[in-house]
Structures are given as structure tokens and as C-alpha cells.
Structure 1
């Protein structure tokens, strides 16, 4: 290829390589100056459910008809293991009076304990007299930073009255007063704190891991830095674009999406860089001109990189179809970051390789045999033997014993996939926190001293049209209910009444969530028996448990839509790329099998290894989108090599060489991608730990089982039918090999 030709000259020519680098620098600097970073535009209290969902409608009605309880509750747990003293109780009363007269930031109301007579207040204590819960209500629209400022104000007032800060007292202290903030406010503050504290450590850990793995695998400091530079520029461009979009209100970003986006950029981004780098290194062993080598590398790898990147972008964009806010918010940051990253892989990485040339691989510089001979002659050493191409033992096995290979991989993957049917799910965010987080410690105290249901009661609201009902008695008769308040009358509509209902179990548990339909049917039955028409439209249930139930329902709806659409779009892209129905079918089937195997093996590790009772309900869909899209990356890169080589050699030889040619780069890329997702497992947030484990396991299964063994074995078994309905022209051993062109 001549220097003056097309795309290669445009991004990595003698002068254009410097222009390419300069353009990326200018874009990164300018965008960073004029637009805010995405981290500065986080919104961690965005609504996950649309206004049409039952729990959201119930919350709106509760805010309108029962304004006294419309705030977001913070449950302040006060405990003295030796028993709360009279002085401590009076100080708690004084604190509520102070808060009533001088509210903290975003505070709406406080239960006025100071107005209660001593006897009534003692009735609020636990049976052993050691604990009391003080509700404090905040603005529902406040974000976690504002809520945290309010709680910090509470602590300041507490220190002024108590002369010490009981919020800092260790939970196991047996002699001092202990205070903890739990309930929705405490959970929101702790969740935000855990994610924000994880951002920096996650970024550092990911960069260090990628550098270490690149150094261990390629043993070249320059080569290790090139992908980091490319990913860094991609992040510097992506961040302000997302920040601008968030500023305009086009998208909403939260700490969780930014954390996973960082991992995705470094993992998948490094993979795309390695696809280009490995092709460049292979060519340098045969091509003395480094300029021609980089142009050939661009031509030989750009199609597979673009196809791989586009597949992931399309799959992630499908999340825009989700109704659940957390899924929907992932779509744009993830897809945009991957889009910019594969653009960087096709422009910035070739430019950097052109700038560093063979020095990119120092000290193990790839040279042609003639160059090695000349180098040895200058040093007075004997001429080295021609470099031999090592035959891949995997390529030999999959072409000589394809049935055996296929049987073993199917049994292994199928056995792991069988465990996926045993997976249990939870939507309890609190259970994903470390045990020493304040909101979880406070929740544990409430569960031990009172009823767990006090943490998050639900409000059953009905419109009986002025008719008498026995709803309270019916609710009290339910075996999963511990307490039902007296009826409250609506502020604007006197026909509307509400009952605060406390479960006798964890209100965030799956068991409590599954009781929501029964609560609704109980209320509807009471209305029907009272002669209320359209009873099914006159019942609303407000509260965290009802919201989580709606999240589960919406999540199941999203999975039923997103999974088929992702598979359909990737299938279409593969059909267009490979022009083979058969190959597309088995490539999709193997990745789907790999996903269920990852879910099963992940469950074995998380449940039997780490002792978790359930995994977060959102993880299967997250993992599916990532694993199916990223898993096809490796299949595309390998199968494109086989498709290219079969034009100049027999199919089995093409499979053998294609597997051997791509094995090292895909193995190293898979290790790096799995390693970056595994970094999530070091964080203190179980939802990220579980997502990281399952995704890392899936990537490793793709890297070491599906891509090197299962896919080429199936291709070898199918032979010419692997290309159907595309035209397959067999090439015999005796036919002259002609130069092949890139797929």
C-alpha cells in the first residue's frame, strides 16, 4: 500500500499522524473548557418510575390529600444499651423542639416529641427502654447532597444539646448513647456516599490493573501506555459531551452509570486498541516499511473494530426502550463512550503507532528476517534462523477433533447454565450496603428493638365515596401486617381515607413486595362489599415497598422487550457483515449460552462462595446487554480472520490459522476486560460486586471456551454450510494462494 492511499494516509500519514494527535488534543481541551465534566452534573435522586405507575400515582395523591406526611422520612434511631436515661430522653425532646423552631436544610417537619407527656413518650420506647425512633421529614425533591447537608445540620444541633456526637459512637458500644440515621433519607445519603467514594478508587484501580496486565502480557512500557492514552482522550471527550447533554436536560446521569462507564471505557477501549496493535505487530514481522505496515494494519483490522464497536453501541442504545429509569439512564453514556472509543481506536491509536513506529514494542521490537540478519551482521553475530510461525495447538485440536471439542464445551457451559435457574433476586438496596454503613446499622437496631416494618410503612389509600368499610379490620387480620393506623381523612376530598400499614417483616424484602397485590385486593374487596363501584380504580398504595414492586414489574417488562431487540439487532448486523444465516445463527446461540453459563457460575460464586442470599434484580439485564454485545466482539474479530483466510486456503487450514492468529490478542484482551469488570468486585457496594463478578466470568468464558473452542469447532463441522446462503468457493492445497483482501 502506498503512503498516499485513502484512509491510512488520512489518519497516520507522514504529516497527518501529527494532525490526528493535535485534533484529539484540541477537541479534548476545548470541550473540557467550555462544557462541564459529567461528574459535576450527577443526579442521584432521579425518578426511576414514570408518572403512570401505581406507586407514583399513589405518592402524588398522598402528597395532595395528606400533606402532613408528604416528606421523605429520616428515621433517627437513638439507643443506649443500658437504657435511655431521663436526661437523654429530655435532650431528645429538646432536639425536636430545636428542629421545630429552627429547621435544618430541606427539613419539612419533625414529630414534636417535646409536646408529649412523659408517660406517652415512654410508650414510644422499645420494651427494654433502650431505644426510641425519631422521625424527621425532608423535602422529597431534595437530592442526596442536600439531604446530607440537612443531616449534618442535625448532628451540629445534637452536639450542642448533648455535648457529644452520638452519631460517631460505635454501634457496639455498651455504655454510651448511640444515634444512627436510617429510612429512605439515610439510605439515599449512604448510597450516594458509597458510589462517590468508589469513583476515584475505581478509576485508579482500573488504570493500574490495565497497565500491569499490558506490561505483563506485552512486556513493553510504550505499548502499555498507548491504550491508556487513547482511553484517556476518549474519556476527556466523552465526559464534557455528557456533561453538556445533562446540562441541557437531554439526559440524566448518576454515580452508578459513571462508575460502570469508566470500567467499560478502559476494558472495551483497551480491547479495540489491542486489535489494531496486534495486527500492526504481525505485519511488522514481514513488512520492512513501518508506514506501509500501519496502513496494512488499518486496512486489515478497521472493519472488525468498527463492526465490534458498532455492535456494542447499538446493543447499549436499546436500553433507551426501557421504562425503568436506571436502565434508561445507562443507554446514552455507555453507547456514546464506546462510540468515541472505537473512533479513537481507528484514528488516534494508528497515529500513535505511526509516531512511535517499531519503538512501540520496545524492547521486543518486531523486525523482518532481513532486518534481523542485517542487525546481527552489524553486531558481529551469526545470522538468526528465519522466524517460524508457531502452529496453534487449539487450532489443530478444533480442526482434527471438532466433535469432541464441541461435546466438551457444550457439557461445561450447559452445566453452568443449569444453575442460572436457581438464581434468587432482591430489590433491597439496603442489603447491598456494607454492614457498617449507618443506615444499615440503624435498620438492624429497629428490627431488633421494634418491627422492621417501621422502617418503611406503606399507606393504603381508598376512595369509599363516603361509605363505611371494614378495611382497617381486614388489614389487621393479615398475618404479614403488624400494625394499622386509624383512618386519616383526605385534606381536599373527605371521601378519601388512608391507613398507615406496617409489615412484620423487612419492608424491602421480596416477600414484602409480593404482598402488595394482596394488599390491593384486600382493599378492593372491602370497597366492593361496601357497595363501591369501580373498586379496582379506587385503591392506591404508597410507600417504598409498593415502589419496589412496581420496579420489579417494570424491570420484567423491560427485559421482555430489550433482550429480543438486542438479539435481533445484533443478528441483523452480523447478517450484513458475514452474509451468512448459518454463521450468524451459531454465533448468536453461543453467546446466549455463554450468558446463561456466566449467570449460573456467577450465582455459584456469589451464593455458595460469598454467602449472598440473592442478587440485585437489575443485574441479569445489565449483564445480558454487556455480555452479548462484548462477547460478539471476540467472535467477530476471530471469524473475520477465518473468513478472510478461507479465500486463499482450505477452510480447515483457515480455521487453524485464524484461531492461531487471533488467540493471543483475544486472550490478552479478554483478560484485561474481565480484569476491569472484576475491579468492581473490590468495591463496598454489592450491586456492583455482583455485576462485576457475573460480567467478568462471562468475558472469561467467551475468551477461553466459546471463542477458541466452541465457535471454530462448529465452523469446522459445518464446513461449506457455515457460509450459507453465501457463495463458498473451495480452495485446495494445490491451488496458488492469492493475496486476500480484508472482509
Structure 2
């Protein structure tokens, strides 16, 4: 007897049969990312072992201070980093104080990592203080050695009226490492917490924020693994600064890309598509802007390879690797998770099916739209020229603050906010000794010109003494001959001003002018020269890299939008937004927070991030505008693109601003300044430039923005999809 099944049952059975391979594929993708996270996650704690926070390690090989540093080891018998230990009493040092100092000297020489004899105690002229010079091996973990020296000092002076600090190059490097210590824990916790709160408010969903955060965390784990392997193989030079920026960049970028993908997926679900069709539609709609955005940011970061500073140059591939991982996670792990979850991802407030009610009339592009973005579109369409001219004038006023920007470096004692042991030690050192006693200026000169050069250096206004270095690394005194290596001698000059001050850097310039006039191949180094050469190189990088970044991004936009006019206008708005941001930042840093200046690399990093990330949002907007313009005409397409992308781009801007703002929890002046610049700049770009300036300018110009593409040359008749 023949039985007949209902057609619906057969289709359901076939549908279930077809979906299982997709489910298995989705599970497989999730498992691959779980494995990557399992391998990459534990490397967070290992990054410090391949990081170097010594400022000298990032100088270009062509810098004069680098050449001097390489020669110093030949004369001093080591390329160690000096720790200066300074101790003072309330009155003149007595026998008990001197006994404590002797105990410390003996304890310091027993500390693992101390490379050579401890010099001191050297009493001050006023008899109220003493100092030691403790050489630390360059291959040692400076943070650990300095911590042991501070512990030994505290034990030695216990029970006396003495107070002491560990300063010098090693002391500042250790304090900098301590300040970076919160990157793996506090920074990630604050950033992820801020993102989670924003996602809850945006989606009103319990499950979806976790899916997006997991995408960001997995992308970061993969990026950390790649960076660790590159640093361990000495392909890149990693420091705490790059590590912090990497974490924030990956979390922010991945979340932005995830927001765009989820928005497309939600639209597909709302139109009634099943999960398979919704993922395919979302992937097709999101892949071009996400890949284009990621490529723009990655290429902009890779432009840092043209930098002469090793620290800047390393951030290029580090950041680019992070962005690639962000794109891969957003286009693989997140789609797999959303496919497995389906509409459940939006629980308890799922997207409502819009159907025909979602259509907007092509006459204006606004009918059928509600809320904020309808009002914004109405303002743009009614008075576009007034809107964009007003925006430009407002940004131009903000640019006036650029006159207060002082980005020529800051004293080393101000790098760590809130004070540090090394900064306190430098202050104490300046009260009892020549301020530069622990950080001499080194001059490597031919033996035949040594006396003349020594006299020229001694004539400088901020130099107290100049001595030649003898065999054994000490000063050549009492008729002792200087050490001669390859026909050259090493001179050590003591500054009377703080070695990290602007006055000291000016003195380096004067010394170099004086000695080069005597012998051109003489080189001047030391910690002050390192700081000066770093600032000069950073300012040169700014002039070199900015044009390269602009040209590269402009070419990418032209290829993406198939236009010349639109990319040029977008780049102009982004550059104007950057200048306005730096103007506001300069006012805030100088008049509100009270910073004495800014690191010389801050404008360059701010430019790279703001231009690349600002173009991101314009890519999200303009790719959708181009898609809508091809169907309905340019002006309606602009309004439709604005209304469709308004919510997701604003959410993305808030997420990115919040993640970069999290950098301010690390008490490093550079990171605090960069966090404000990027957070404020992203909000300015999201709220003003992308929401008002770009749409109004495009609406005013009309289809000419697509020139020379056919979309910009042929009159368009709006047509309904």
C-alpha cells in the first residue's frame, strides 16, 4: 500500500538536511577561533619578556646619539645603563649615615644584574647628601634590578634619618615599566567594560553584546600571538606603548566592524530572511566596507615604516597585524556565531519584520523614516549649503588652538603622571649636586683634538666639568692618561641643569656646533642627546609620513568609490577634523590639565589614527550612499545612506571613543594625551563631520561627487528597488 507524505514535511526534511552542513561549518569556524584564543591568550603575560622600554633602543642608527652610545661601551667596558642612587639627610652626614651608605654599596653589588663596581658614595659639596652610580647590564630586566636596588636602599637606611631614591636612566625606565604594568589587566577591563555597556544600550539584548565582545577578544588574542612571535624573532621592536595601543585598536576596530555586520544581519532578519539568507546578505553587504576600512587603517599604519624612529616603525606592522585579525574575526567568527544563534541573538528585543512598510519614497529619501536621523536628513536637505559652511567655520575656529600646541617633547620626569621615585630622585639630585651629575654628556673625539674639544665644551654656559675617561671607566685624574680606543678618546661633561630639560637640549645643540667646528666627525651622546635626537627625528617623521598617508588613503578611496571628487572631499573633511581636534586638544592640555607640553610623536600618532579611523566612518557612509545613489539618484541616495547608517556609525564612534579613552587609565602622559585626541576626534568626526558636513556637502554638489564615473555624468532617474 502506497503512502503519501505531505509536501511541507518533505521540504522541511530537505531543509533540515541542507542546514546541517552549514551548522557544522559554523561550529568548525568557532572551534578554530577558540583554538587560536587558547594559544594566543596565555601570551599576554609573556609580552613583557619581549618588550623594551629603554628610549635609546628606538633611536635610528643614523642618529648621532646612537653612534656615541655604541662607542661608549668600548671605553666604559660595558654598555650598561646607569642607575643613580641619591641619599640625603636632614643635616650633615654623620658616622651612622656613612655606615648605612657603606652597607648599601655592599648590598647593591650583590644584586643580580648589577654589571660592575658600584661607584660611591660620592658626597655632595654641602655635605648633606651622597650619590652612587650603579651600572645595570643592558641584557637585564631593568625593572627587576631597580626594584631590588630600592629594596636594598630601604633596608640600609632603615632606622636612620636618611631618605633616598633610585633615578637616572635605569630608574626612569623602571618607573615607565611599572606604569605600563596595568596594560594587560586594568586597561582591558576598562575598555571591555565600556564597550559592553554601550552594546547593551545599543542592542537592548543580553546575548548579542557577548557575541560582539567575544569577537573582539578573539581577534586580540590572535593579534597578540602574531606580535609575540614577531617580537621574539626580533622582526619588530615592541614596547609598552605599542602594546597598549594594539589592545585598544583591535578591540575598537573589531567592535566597529562587528556593529556594521550585525546591522546588515539585523536588516536581513527584519526583511523576513531565514538565518542562512540573512548571513549571506549581511556578508555581501558588509564585506566591501569592512575590508576597505581595514585595508585603509592597515595601510595607513604601515606608512609608519617610513619613520626613522624604531618605536614608530614597529607600530606599523604591529597595528596592521591587529587590524587584519579584526577583519578576519568580524567576517568569520561573528557570522558563524550569528548563524548558529539566528534571531535568538537579539533576545529579548528581536528585530521586527518591516516588509513593505520600510520602503522610503525616492523623491526625498526621507519618507518612512522616523526619529533622529529623519530630522538630521531634513536639516541637510533643506539648507545643505548653510549646514556645511557652518560646520567648516566651526572646525576652522577650533583650529585656532593649534597655536598653543607644544609638541617638542617633555622632560623625562613628567612622562609618568602623578610622580615617581625616579622623578623625586632627580629633584633631590639637583638640590645637592650638579643637576646633570648622574647623566653626563659623552663626547667621542679623535685623540689629536681632545684637548681643544674639551676646552670648547668647558666654555659652554651650562657645563660644570669636563674629564676624559681613563682605563677602567673612571675619570682620568691626577695625571692618569685617558683611554685611547682606535685613536679616539671619550670625554664626559657634567651639566649644571636638569638633563631632561629644554635648556639641556639646547646645550646639546651648542656643544655639537662647537665640537663639529673643530672636528666634524666628533659625536655627542648621552641621555640628553638621546632625548634631543628622538624629538628631532619625530618631528621629521611628521613631515615625511603625513603626505604619504594622505596619498595612500586617497588612492584607496578612489578605487573604492570609483570617483575622484568624493575621495578628495572626504580627505579634506578628515584633515580639517584632525586639525580642529589638535587645536582643541592643545587648549585642553595647556589650560585645563596643565601639561607642560606633548611628546613629539603625539601629533603623528594622532594623525595616523584619526585620519585612518575617520575615513573608516566615511567609508561606511559613502559605500552605502553609492549603493543607494545607483538605485535612486544621488541626493535621495545621500539621505537614505545617512538614515540607514546613522545609528550604526554613531554607535561605532561611541565604542571607539570609549576604548581609546580607556588608555587614560595608564598613567603615561603620551597615552593620556593620545587617548583624549583620538576619543575627542572620533566623536567630532562621527557627530559633526560624518553626520552633517559630508552629507550636506554631497547633497549640495549632487551627482558631480561621483565624477568621472558614469554615476556622476548621467542624469539619474530614481527607481524603486
Q: Same fold (TM over 0.5)?
A: yes
Task: Kindly indicate whether residue 73 of structure 2 is the aligned counterpart of residue 58 of structure 1.
Answer: no
- Give the CA deviation at 1:110: 1.3
Q: Report if the CA contact (8 A) 2:443-2:492 is conserved.
A: yes
- What does residue 50 of structure 2 align with? 41
Cα distance in structure 2, aligned partners of 1:705 and 1:449: 54
Q: Deviations 1:456-476 (Å, cap 9, x if unpaired)? A: 2202232152x6744444333
Q: Deviations 1:193-235 (Å, cap 9, x if unpaired)? A: 1102343100111111111111122221212111101011112
Task: Kindly indicate whether residue 29 of structure 2 is the aligned counterpart of residue 29 of structure 1.
Answer: no
Secondary structure, aligned partner of 1:108: coil
- Give the CA deviation at 1:484: 3.2
- Give the CA deviation at 1:344: 1.1
Secondary structure, aligned partner of 1:107: coil
**Out of 130, 139, 146, which is 1:132 matched to?**
130
Residues 10 and 86 (structure 1 numbering): CA distance in 2 closer, same or farther, change over 3 Å? farther
**Out of 604, 628, 643, which is 2:611 matched to?**
628
| Structure 2: gaps (5+ residues) | 1-11, 13-17, 358-366, 470-475
1:149-548 equivalences under 5 Å are 149-155=144-150, 157-158=152-153, 161-163=156-158, 176-368=161-353, 389-390=370-371, 392-425=374-407, 426-465=409-448, 469-485=451-467, 488=476, 490-493=482-485, 496-525=488-517, 527=518, 535-537=519-521, 539-548=522-531
- Give the CA deviation at 1:371: 13
Q: Report if the CA contact (8 A) 2:39-2:225 is conserved.
A: no
Deviates more, 1:648-657 or 1:44-53: 44-53
Secondary structure, aligned partner of 2:116: strand
Q: Deviations 1:57-104 (Å, cap 9, x if unpaired)? A: 11222222343x85321111112234433210232134335555x464
- Give the CA deviation at 1:55: 1.0
- What does residue 113 of structure 2 align with? 105
Deviates more, 1:56-65 or 1:327-336: 56-65
Q: Report if the CA contact (8 A) 1:95-1:161 is conserved.
A: yes
Cα distance in structure 2, aligned partners of 1:98 and 1:242: 38
Cα distance in structure 1, aligned partners of 2:40 and 2:107: 48
**Out of 96, 101, 113, which is 2:105 matched to?**
96
User: So what's the TM-score if we normalise by structure 2?
Assistant: 0.88
Residues 369 and 680 (structure 1 numbering): CA distance in 2 closer, same or farther, change over 3 Å? closer
Cα distance in structure 2, aligned partners of 1:351 and 1:731: 41
Secondary structure, aligned partner of 2:542: helix
- Give the CA deviation at 1:682: 2.5
Cα distance in structure 1, aligned partners of 2:616 and 2:544: 23
- What does residue 375 of structure 1 align with? none
Cα distance in structure 2, aligned partners of 1:602 and 1:724: 36
Q: Deviations 1:527-564 (Å, cap 9, x if unpaired)? A: 3xxxxxxx212x11120111122212322332233212
Deviates more, 1:566-575 or 1:413-422: 413-422
Residues 213 and 464 (structure 1 numbering): CA distance in 2 closer, same or farther, change over 3 Å? same
Cα distance in structure 2, aligned partners of 1:212 and 1:659: 25
Cα distance in structure 1, aligned partners of 2:530 and 2:620: 43
Cα distance in structure 1, aligned partners of 2:165 and 2:102: 17
Cα distance in structure 2, aligned partners of 1:698 and 1:522: 44
Secondary structure, aligned partner of 1:109: coil
Residues 399 and 510 (structure 1 numbering): CA distance in 2 closer, same or farther, change over 3 Å? farther
Cα distance in structure 2, aligned partners of 1:11 and 1:312: 37
Secondary structure, aligned partner of 1:515: helix
- What does residue 363 of structure 2 align with? none
User: For the aligned residues, what is the CA RMSD?
Assistant: 2.9
Q: Report if the CA contact (8 A) 1:452-1:505 is conserved.
A: yes
- Give the CA deviation at 1:241: 2.3
- Give the CA deviation at 1:25: 2.1
Q: Report if the CA contact (8 A) 2:614-2:685 is conserved.
A: yes
- What does residue 655 of structure 2 align with? 672
- What does residue 116 of structure 1 align with? none
- What does residue 361 of structure 2 align with? none
Secondary structure, aligned partner of 2:391: helix
Residues 618 and 732 (structure 1 numbering): CA distance in 2 closer, same or farther, change over 3 Å? closer
Residues 158 and 571 (structure 1 numbering): CA distance in 2 closer, same or farther, change over 3 Å? closer
Cα distance in structure 2, aligned partners of 1:605 and 1:284: 45
- Give the CA deviation at 1:394: 1.4
Cα distance in structure 1, aligned partners of 2:436 and 2:676: 32
Cα distance in structure 2, aligned partners of 1:621 and 1:493: 40
- Give the CA deviation at 1:52: 3.1
Q: Deviations 1:429-457 (Å, cap 9, x if unpaired)? A: 33121343110111121223333222422
User: So what's the TM-score if we normalise by structure 1?
Assistant: 0.86
Secondary structure, aligned partner of 2:630: coil
Secondary structure, aligned partner of 2:708: coil
Deviates more, 1:398-407 or 1:184-193: 398-407
- What does residue 27 of structure 2 align with? 18
Q: Report if the CA contact (8 A) 1:105-1:153 is conserved.
A: no
Secondary structure, aligned partner of 1:133: strand
Residues 10 and 344 (structure 1 numbering): CA distance in 2 closer, same or farther, change over 3 Å? farther
Task: Kindly indicate whether residue 544 of structure 2 is the aligned counterpart of residue 552 of structure 1.
Answer: no
- What does residue 614 of structure 1 align with? 597
Residues 492 and 499 (structure 1 numbering): CA distance in 2 closer, same or farther, change over 3 Å? closer
Secondary structure, aligned partner of 2:414: helix
Q: Report if the CA contact (8 A) 2:387-2:696 is conserved.
A: yes
User: Paired residues, what number?
Assistant: 683
Secondary structure, aligned partner of 2:444: strand
Cα distance in structure 2, aligned partners of 1:219 and 1:320: 42
Q: Report if the CA contact (8 A) 1:428-1:616 is conserved.
A: no
Q: Deviations 1:495-533 (Å, cap 9, x if unpaired)? A: 6344322233222123322332210121234x3xxxxxx
Q: Report if the CA contact (8 A) 1:62-1:70 is conserved.
A: yes
- Give the CA deviation at 1:158: 4.3
1:658-669 equivalences under 5 Å are 658-669=641-652
Cα distance in structure 2, aligned partners of 1:25 and 1:494: 58
Q: Deviations 1:25-70 (Å, cap 9, x if unpaired)? A: 2343356689995455333347112333211111222222343x85
Secondary structure, aligned partner of 1:648: helix
- What does residue 6 of structure 1 align with? none
Secondary structure, aligned partner of 2:84: strand
Cα distance in structure 1, aligned partners of 2:413 and 2:84: 14
- Give the CA deviation at 1:577: 0.7
Residues 502 and 566 (structure 1 numbering): CA distance in 2 closer, same or farther, change over 3 Å? same
- Give the CA deviation at 1:157: 4.6
